[in-house]
Amino acid sequence: MNMILKGLCGLWLAGLFCVSPVKADPKSAEPPHEDSGFFILPDGVDALNMRLTLIREAKRSLDVQYYIWHQDKSGRLILSALLDAAERGVKVRLLLDDMNLAKDRDLFRDLDRHPQVEIRLFNPLKYDGKGLSKIARTVELMVDFKDKNRRMHNKMLLADESMAVMGGRNIGDEYFDLAVDKSFRDLDIYTEGPISRKLTATFESYWKNENSVPFFQEDIKVAESSAHAKEWTNLRHDLGLDRSQNPGDFLAQSKKPSALLDIQKQLIWAPADSLADSPEIFNGDAEGVEDQLKDWPEPQKSLLIESAYFIPTHALLKQFQGFLSRSVHIEVLTNSLQSNDVLMAHAGYMGKREDILKMGIVLFEWRHDLNKSSGGKSANPYGSQAGLHSKAFVIDEEYVFIGSVNLDGRSIHLNTESGLMVHSRDLAAHVTDYIKDGMNPKTSWAISLACPKSPCAEDEKIVLWKGQKDGREVIYEDEPEEGFWLRTTAKFLSHMPFKSVL
């Protein structure tokens, strides 16, 4: 019977969640055996401060894995902190996906010369994207679409194999509420405890994978490092990463205590698991996040989702329909056309939006023109526009997932992903509050189907956007506050036949 149940479980969410017959009691306060500690980071400045704190506290190692790393204020600040750590003897390993690195390869190649720093590129392209090679890089992506579009979307900073920050944020000012023109609403989670063992093992599996390519061969690396060790201060100055770099006034806005001991006193302790695609999925069949989620619960009462890109596959829609038939309440917060930073992703979602609404799923679309970008906590000091970038869901007000996984074909079929699944009503309450705050009528549009006339047939219903503006309820019959040409382009693209890889 158990084998039959497990087989049935594999059908849920195209393998993204499943039933477990055993439920552990969530805990808080003092850590029981094998429970880990958690602390959510919805605020961008807090999330940056947490990363800098872990880097400062590291004594032995820093293992860092990211999809995007911009050379802006926050990107250079974190690099400078990593070099400070390296110069006090901490071993720094940095694994970066090559898709968005392009012209910054030279900087990271220079950083790789430090004797305590090693940098690898995941699934690198042949061309670096500088000058005319930018065209060659684009052609390479088009010609070798299947392999070169499979990217490492994981995001993690792990200190001393014992403390980590994971979640949706890449490294860049827009993820930490520091960008002048835009910022992202996003969500990270700090963790420590036994779960760190699995985080360490996962990083090692990526680091040693054949798709992780070093800048230098080992023998050349030693020679390069030795040659430049005495000149490192000058080289660091030339790179604009002087030791004098400091967080500046913007970190004074952080609402979370900067001392790690103070943070540790506020941890929620609970059973959890670290989930990650095996890097071997690029080379054939291997275990992915969808397989690991089979040991976690299928919703019985409610499913609350926040996903930057929400383009459910046919199998996922079928599973949602099954939940709805059992009276499971499903609510989803995703981007609007105005807030979405990827037009193709919104087009893919548009093509399925009416079907999603007809099923009975409650939809909300995040608004762009806000003064808050981090879950309603602190105002963005630089910009006023905010897109949604979080990836989280809550099952039955009891189980929480926070990570890099969007509910779209790209996350399921192309990219590697990672995240944490935690069994804790306390943590679930915090994440529920975060998502629900984003769904309120001042921050999002409530989406519905309505008849333009009465009576009307089902296929005559139109999509409505309802929210509040300047203290008044407003209703739109088309994508709110966007121009004719962008709406028309998105509608045209929504009919294109490539939603499975968006």
Known catalytic membership, residue 160: yes
Between CA 45 and CA 343 the distance in angstroms is 27
Q: How far apart are the first and last CA of the chain?
A: 37
- In tens, the pLDDT along 109-127 reads 888 888 899 999 998 877 6
Question: What integer is the mean pLDDT of 297-310?
Answer: 94
Contact status, residue 385 vs residue 183, Cβ threshold 8 Å: yes
Based on its alpha-carbon atoms, the radius of gyration of the chain, rounded to whole angstroms, reads 23
Q: What per-residue confidence (pLDDT) applies to 488?
A: 83
For the purposes of burial, counting CB atoms within 10 Å of the CB of 214, is it exposed (0-12), middle (13-18) or buried (19 or more)? middle
Answer whether residue 409 shows pLDDT above 90: no
In the chain, the largest separation of any two C-alpha atoms, in whole Å, equals 81
Contact status, residue 320 vs residue 361, Cβ threshold 8 Å: yes
Mean pLDDT check: name the lowest of 214-218, 403-407, 414-418. 214-218
Between CA 298 and CA 313 the distance in angstroms is 18
Residue (of 238, 201, 221, 236) closest to 119 by Cα position: 221
Answer whether residue 145 shows pLDDT above 80: no
Would you list the DSSP string of 296-344? SPPPSSEEEEEESSB---HHHHHHHHHHHHTT-EEEEEEE-TTT-S-HH
Query: Among the options 46, 160, 186, 408, which is catalytic?
Result: 160
Answer whether residue 7 shows pLDDT above 60: no
Tokens of 471: 């203290």
Answer whether residue 2 shows pLDDT above 80: no
Tokens of 440: 């309120």
Answer whether residue 150 shows pLDDT above 50: yes
Known catalytic membership, residue 346: no
**Close Cβ partners of 177 (under 8 Å, ≥ 6 residues apart):** 43, 44, 45, 183, 373, 374, 378, 380, 381, 382
Strand pairing report for 156-159 and 61-66: antiparallel
pTM: 0.86
Between CA 60 and CA 323 the distance in angstroms is 47
Question: What integer is the mean pLDDT of 213-242?
Answer: 66
Question: What integer is the mean pLDDT of 469-477?
Answer: 92
Mean pLDDT for the chain?
Answer: 82
Question: What integer is the mean pLDDT of 148-163?
Answer: 92
Query: Among the options 396, 426, 433, 478, which is catalytic?
Result: 396
- In tens, the pLDDT along 49-99 reads 999 999 999 999 999 999 999 999 999 999 999 999 999 999 999 999 988
At residue 203 the predicted structure's pLDDT band, cuts being 50, 70 and 90, is very high
Q: What per-residue confidence (pLDDT) applies to 184?
A: 93
- The b/e string for 387-410 (b: 16+ C-beta within 10 A; e otherwise) is bbbbbbbbbbebbbbbbbbbbbbb
Query: Among the options 389, 423, 437, 499, which is catalytic?
Result: 389
Q: What per-residue confidence (pLDDT) applies to 130?
A: 66
Q: What per-residue confidence (pLDDT) applies to 244?
A: 54
Report the percent of the chain where pLDDT is more than 90.
Answer: 50
Structural domains of the chain, with CATH: 39-264 (3.30.870.10), 276-501 (3.30.870.10)
At residue 226 the predicted structure's pLDDT band, cuts being 50, 70 and 90, is low
Strand partners, 118: 93
Contact status, residue 416 vs residue 281, Cβ threshold 8 Å: yes
Query: Among the options 155, 182, 346, 423, which is catalytic?
Result: 155
Known catalytic membership, residue 153: yes
At residue 224 the predicted structure's pLDDT band, cuts being 50, 70 and 90, is low
Between CA 220 and CA 238 the distance in angstroms is 22
In what order do the strands lie in the sheet containing 36-41? 212-214, 117-122, 91-97, 61-66, 156-159, 163-167, 188-192, 36-41, 268-270
- In tens, the pLDDT along 367-406 reads 976 544 444 334 433 333 579 999 999 999 999 999 999 9
Three-class DSSP category at 48: helix
Between CA 338 and CA 498 the distance in angstroms is 22
For the purposes of burial, counting CB atoms within 10 Å of the CB of 411, is it exposed (0-12), middle (13-18) or buried (19 or more)? buried
Answer whether residue 249 shows pLDDT above 50: yes
Residue (of 486, 448, 492) closest to 467 by Cα position: 448
More confident residue, 289 or 171: 171
Known catalytic membership, residue 426: no
Report the percent of the chain where pLDDT is more than 70.
Answer: 77
- In tens, the pLDDT along 157-195 reads 999 999 999 999 999 999 999 887 788 999 999 999 999
Residue (of 378, 374, 419, 424) closest to 399 by Cα position: 424
DSSP 180: S
| CB neighbours of residue 431 within 10 Å | 26
Query: Among the options 391, 408, 423, 437, which is catalytic?
Result: 391
More confident residue, 227 or 79: 79
Would you list the DSSP string of 200-239? HHHHHHHHTSTTEEESS-HHHHHHHHHHHSTTHHHHHHHT
Known catalytic membership, residue 368: no
- In tens, the pLDDT along 256-276 reads 555 677 788 899 999 999 999
Between CA 447 and CA 86 the distance in angstroms is 50
At residue 22 the predicted structure's pLDDT band, cuts being 50, 70 and 90, is very low
Known catalytic membership, residue 155: yes
Q: What per-residue confidence (pLDDT) applies to 316?
A: 87
Q: Hey, what's the torsion of the CAs at 42, 47, 49, 50, to 10 degrees?
A: 100
Query: Among the options 73, 114, 148, 153, which is catalytic?
Result: 153
Residue (of 364, 403, 338) closest to 182 by Cα position: 338
- In tens, the pLDDT along 331-366 reads 999 999 988 888 888 899 999 999 999 999 999 999
